[in-house]
Each structure stands twice: as C-alpha cells, then as structure tokens.
Amino acid sequence: MNIWQKTKKYLQWLCTPTAKKQAYLDNIIFQARQVPETAMLLDMAKENGIAVRFDSKMIFSSTAGVFTTYPENNVREITINPSVAQEDWKAQTVLSHELRHMYQAMTRGETPQTNDYTTYTPLTCLLIDRIKEADAAAYSAFHVERFLAVGNALCEVVQEKRTLQLSLDDLSALQKAVREKLEKMQSAEEIIGIMSREFFDTLDILGNYDRKTMRRAHAFNTSAAAPERSHKLIAQSAAEIARSIRADVYLNLADETAFKESILKGVKPEVQEAISLIDAFTAANDDQPEQKKTLRQKARDLVYRHR
C-alpha cells in the first residue's frame, strides 16, 4: 500500500466501532486456539499477563506484528497490524509468529529488562536473532499446516458423528475427538519436516534483520553513544542458543559446526565483516587503546556505509 492507501486504512480503522475491533481480535484468537500447540502458547500469554491487541500506528509500517517488551513499566505484549484483521491466513501467520517469539523469550528466561546486546557478544547476538526469526517463521508455517489439518479432522469427525455418538452441541467432546484424529493425521516426523524446511529456507531471506542486528551491535558497542561496560560479554554457540529456546529439533539435521555454518550462510559479507570488527573491539583489552580506536573506526565506517 502507498501512503494514501495507508492513510485511508488508518482513518477507516479509527472509525470502526470498538466492539467490532474486539470481534475481529476474538475471531483471530478463537481460530488460533483450534491448533492445540498454539492454544498452549495463548494460555502461556494469559498466565503471564501478556496481552494481544491491535495497534493502529502499525498501519503506516511494513510490520505485521511484534512481540514487544517495555522495561520501564515491566510490560510485555503482542501487537498486530489492523491491516490483517480481516485476512484470516495472514492474521494466523502473524499471531503464531509473535507467540513463538514470546515462547522463545520465556524459555530463555528473558525479562523486560533483558538486553542481548549488553549481555552477549555481537556474533552471539547475530546468531540469536537469526535463530529466533527462522524458528518463529518455522512455527507459523507449522501452525498454518496444523490449522488446515484441524479443518480436515473436523470434517471427518462430523462425518463419523453417529459412530462416535457425539452431539454437535457437545463442543468439548467434539474438540477432543478432533485432536485425537489430528494426532493420527500428522506424525511427529511430518511436523519436524515442515518446521525444519521453513527454518532453513527462512535463513536465506533475513538480510533486513541482519542489518538491524548490525546497527544495534554498533549502537551498544562502537558508536559514540555506546555505554561504558565493565563486564565481559558472553559468547554462546548456535547449538546452545537453539537448545535454550527448545528448538534443538533443527540440530538433528547437522552436527554443531555444520549447524552454525548453516545459520550464518545467508549473512551478507559486509554484515559479517562489521560484526567481526565489533566483536574484535569488545574483546580487545583496554591497555591497547590504539587497537581499539582503529577497530572502532573501521566498524563505524562499515556500518554507516551499509546501514
């Protein structure tokens, strides 16, 4: 959409009654709950006070959804671009993607105060960002496949209604039967295959995310405004990161060295070089001021040239 179309969409959304907006959101969440694994993520969000809402300001951006943390008031939330409110498949993809990011944060023990860029080395941050994004894309692909399977399972259950002695009004019994059939329709191997294909395919198209990581690594380490730091940054391997978000299913396809290489394979040379320079700067000793000065300047030049 161009700016005029976005403005029209924004004004239309502002004029939409609150009850209708809530109905859109309720429908998206209801549909997502038909996938058992995503229902568990929605329960996790509810238990931890993580709201799901529309954000009208996102209409003017290219972002469809985001899992956001606000350290100043200890709040976390998932916001969805209203542009996808009436697009069922897009809305399901967005919500499941952001729920997976929430899950990653929870399993890694992150809080609203957590900042990877002041905790981990720049290379580790690049690995974290790429693994998280590819894993979220893989989960949303799985969710959509699972959602289709739910529909097929429901049709079969309804056809078998007399055999199963179910009343269509007995929603809980109907859902239970659907989930039992769903487990028979999709094996664990098929699910792993869906997620693994999407995970590794997504790694090839993360160029914009990589540049964002590069800019953040620069901002927190080699920019003029970078904070002073007395502690050493932590390095984590790609395998450790995958395990920390319980995404080690992807490790079954390669040994740990090959896994790291596959994670970094799609990174542009200039981004890899900038991250390496920032990494070297953070590792250099303070008693080598000239070396640190040279590394900082090279990193700055490269970041500004390719930002």
CA nearest to 276, candidates 53, 124, 85: 124
Query: Based on the domain organization, do 158 and 185 belong to the same domain?
Result: yes
Contact between 117 and 278 (Cβ < 8 Å): no
Q: Is the pLDDT of residue 302 over 80?
A: yes
Query: Based on the domain organization, do 52 and 33 belong to the same domain?
Result: yes
Token pair recorded at residue 55: 């954000």
pLDDT band of 71, cuts 50, 70, 90: confident
Going from the C-alpha of 20 to that of each of 26, 64, 90, the distances in angstroms are 10, 20, 19
pLDDT band of 228, cuts 50, 70, 90: confident
CA 36 from centroid of its chain's CA atoms:
19
Q: Is the pTM of this model over 0.95?
A: no
pLDDT for residue 274:
96
Query: Based on the domain organization, do 44 and 149 belong to the same domain?
Result: no
Query: Based on the domain organization, do 6 and 147 belong to the same domain?
Result: no
Q: Which domain holds residue 48?
A: 1-114
Side-chain half-sphere exposure of 250, counting CA atoms within 13 A: 34
Query: Based on the domain organization, do 154 and 282 belong to the same domain?
Result: yes
Q: For the residues 133-158, what does the mean pLDDT come to? A: 80
Percent of the chain scored above 90 by pLDDT? 59
Query: Based on the domain organization, do 104 and 138 belong to the same domain?
Result: no
- Total domains present in the chain: 2
